[in-house]
Amino acid sequence: MFWADELAASATGRQVINDSKTPSGTVHVGSLRGPVVVDTITRAFRDAERDVELRYGVDDLDPMDAQALLTPDAIEQFMGVPLSVVPDPAGDCHASYARHFAQVFIDTFAGLGIRPDTYYWMSEVYGSGAMDRYLRTALDAAGTIREIYRRVANVNHPDDWHPAMVICESCGRIGTTIVVGWDGERVRYECRPDLREWAKGCGHAGEVSPFGGRAKMPYNVDWAAKWDLFGVTIEPAGKDLSTRGGSRDRSDAIAREVFGNEPPRNVPYEFLNIGGKKMSTSKGLGASAAKVADVIPPEQLRLLFLRSKPNTAIEFDPAGTDAIPRLFDESDRLAAATAGREVRGELPLDHDRLFAVSLVDPEADVAAEAAAYRPAFSHLALLEQIPGVDLVERVTAEKGSSLTDRERELVEERRVAARAWLEAYAPDRARLAVHYDGVPAGAAELDDLQRSYLAALISALQAVEWNGEALQGAIFATAKQFELPAGRAFAALYLAFLGRDSGPRAGWLLTALSPEFVIARLGEAGSAGVGA
RNA sequence: GGGCGCCUAGCUCAACGGCAGAGCAAGUGACUCUUAAUCACUAGGUUCAGGGUUCGAAUCCCUGGGCGCUCACCA
């Protein structure tokens, strides 16, 4: 059974699935695995006609801690300030930094067919007072929480540490304050200059009621409180959080021992490695990660994540490899199998389910999608390199009937992807290079018969119209005259122009070149001894 | 130092206690009109190593090795 269906089958009752994200910057491809996993689990429940809700939280009360996207003077002003208060660095299109970047990932999710039932903003949840009772319980249990941190994670907070982060009344920072006292109604806090390396507190000390959005709980406590507030039953977490003594362990313990609530089921998931390395914006792999998303359409990106079980790391190396064309091929094979067509080789378990959940639209007509004509990616990449080729026309011819609107969309989507792939990743052998500056060295392999054939083509080609079909006909006809097998005839042409013994349909390739050049080259390659 | 994952054909992976398999790559061949397509065929393995359990182990257990990620600040 497909892993998500298995999970759905093993849970009883109504499910609340939750995930959340801090809107501190742009999303890279690797960080999309979590959302895709969460969405797919939700779909599995929904497909089994189970009651399920997907909630997605925006942790916009978290302090600003990434200075990469701020201007130098903004760094001093805003580091440590809640993201919901930091202005939008991209201009004035959004109310805040948090709103801007949250919109970026909401849009990204939507493009992948991920549609949470509810997006909630933690600044609003705290502001509404919904978290007040948890905050009170946590503050009352400060000693227990300090002990949990010590026991579970070996993190030692000072004895006067309390599980709350106050927004400093003086400077507005939340990342630099520490609560050192709690009298049951008000907290005493200090905004320390040296509490964090990445932000400088103003030194203010004060007393304030922490309720109604004036303070938030630290991450692990906050997480446990959300589980109870929303009745979360399943929350997948990346391996960075799922490690022993990590965030998930701490929050689990806090849920049980402080809030008296059984934590939700975890679905730990591994990451996506690009070329054997984890993705990181700081190591320059971030750029390539962003490009990955440009080259892989949503359906194939979903497949990339979903064909492996969540707890398996995914190795993906698109640079100079055929990993991307093969991802398309796999996708097409699944479609073919789902449509009931014969496919070669083995299929993954429940291949039709895998195909269905890789579709962007959860409501899509799976049978219709599977039946749609899908031109092979590598074939398109090749055609796309020949000037003057009408892709839709060619694909229509190969399909044998006119394309539906959806099929036309697929062609266009793949055309764009193929372009991007050729520019960013394609190995040299996938690139078409006409040797304009001289007969390629590979032409030395030509034998006398092939050379005579090339020479004879000069008049044969001049005798017909300069279009693909006519040239292709002449190439075949001349080969027949010379009793040269078609394969060897074509090889001669490819060697003369491309320096390799295979290539795209020769007639159409030649029409992309000027007649003068073609004739001249045939003359050079056709004379005995050239390149020998 | 702790945790998790991985190690099976050249590459990517499947098989999860019952005959080690696929895709791609490679090789051979077919093809007078899709010629980087399509089709047929071939080859490729001490399943990281060692031990154990079992009628039977790639699979379970133990020991060791290698690779990768991750945590031990914050979120």
Residues A178-227 have pLDDT tens digits of 999 999 999 999 999 999 888 899 999 999 999 999 999 999 999 999 99
Rounded average pLDDT over A118-130? 96
Nucleotide whose C1' lies closest to the alpha carbon of residue A22: B75
Could you tell me the CA-to-CA distances from A353 to A5, A55, A243, A337, A400 in Å, in that order?
9, 24, 30, 11, 29
CA–C1' gap, A510 and B36, in angstroms: 16
Q: In this structure, how many other beta carbons lie within 10 angstroms of the beta carbon of residue A73?
A: 8
Q: In terms of DSSP H, where are the helices of A112-194?
A: 122-127, 132-140, 142-153
Q: Which nucleotide C1' is nearest A221 CA?
A: B75
Contact A219, A1 (CB under 8 A): no
Which of A90-94, A102-106, A120-124 is most confident?
A: A120-124
Predicted local confidence at residue A531, as pLDDT: 44
Q: How many Å apart are CA A98 and CA A104, to the nearest integer?
A: 10
Rounded percentage of chain A residues whose pLDDT exceeds 70: 95
Distance CA A444, CA A457 (A): 18
CA of A486 to C1' of B30 (A): 12
Res A53: pLDDT: 97
> Which position has the higher pLDDT, A450 or A159?
A159
Q: Which nucleotide is nearest to A490 (CA to C1')?
A: B35
Nearest to A334 by CA among A365, A299, A360, A361: A299
Q: What are the residues whose beta carbons fall under 8 Å from the beta carbon of A124, sequence distance 6 or more?
A: none
Q: What is the pLDDT of residues A472-495, one digit of tens each?
A: 888 888 887 887 777 778 888 888
Sheet architecture: strand order including A205-208: A177-182, A187-191, A205-208
Q: pLDDT by residue (tens digit) across A289-319? A: 566 777 889 999 999 999 888 888 888 878 7
Span A348-369, pLDDT tens digits: 878 889 999 999 999 999 999 9
In angstroms, the CA of A158 and the C1' of B71 are apart by 21
**C-alpha span between A17 and A264 (Å, rounded):** 9
Sign (positive/negative) of CA torsion A505, A507, A511, A513? positive
Q: Which residue is nearest to nucleotide B30 (CA to C1')?
A: A487
Nearest DNA or RNA nucleotide to A276 (CA to C1'): B68
Taking the CA atoms of A209, A211, A214 and A217 in sequence, report the sign of the dihedral they define.
Answer: positive
Distance of C1' in B46 from CA in A60, Å: 57
A272 phi and psi angles, rounded to 5 deg: -105, 120
CB A18 within 8 A of CB A57: yes
Rounded to an integer, what distance in angstroms lies between the CA atom of residue A26 and that of residue A281? 10
**Predicted pLDDT at A278:** 62
How high is the mean pLDDT of chain A? 86
| Residue closest to B67 C1′ by Cα | A276
Spatial distance from the CA of A307 to the C1' of B58 (Å): 21
User: Could you give all domains of chain A from N- to C-terminal order, each with its CATH number?
Assistant: 3-67+78-121+228-269 (3.40.50.620), 132-216 (no CATH), 272-430 (no CATH), 441-526 (1.10.10.350)
Is residue A530 predicted with pLDDT exceeding 50?
no
Report the pLDDT averaged over residues A443-461.
Answer: 84
Closest nucleotide (C1' vs CA) to A430 is B36
d(CA A18, CA A13): 16
What is the CB neighbour count within 10 angstroms for residue A291?
18
Least confident of A127-136, A232-241, A263-272, A443-452: A443-452
Question: What's the pLDDT at A219?
Answer: 93
Residue A381's nearest nucleotide, by CA–C1', is B36
CA of A325 to C1' of B30 (A): 26
Residue A443: per-residue pLDDT: 77
**A189 strand-pairing partners:** A179, A206
CA atoms within 13 A on the CB side of A139: 27
pLDDT the model gives residue A343: 79
Q: Which residues contact A208 (CB under 8 A, 6 or more apart)?
A: A166, A169, A186, A187, A189, A214, A215
Distance, in Å, from the CA atom of A380 to the CA atom of A447, rounded to the nearest integer, reads 32
CA of A422 to C1' of B32 (A): 33
Most confident of A255-259, A377-381, A404-408: A255-259
**Nucleic acid strand B: bases within 7 A of protein CB:** 2-6, 12-15, 21-25, 31-40, 67-75
Q: For residue A282, is pLDDT > 50?
A: no
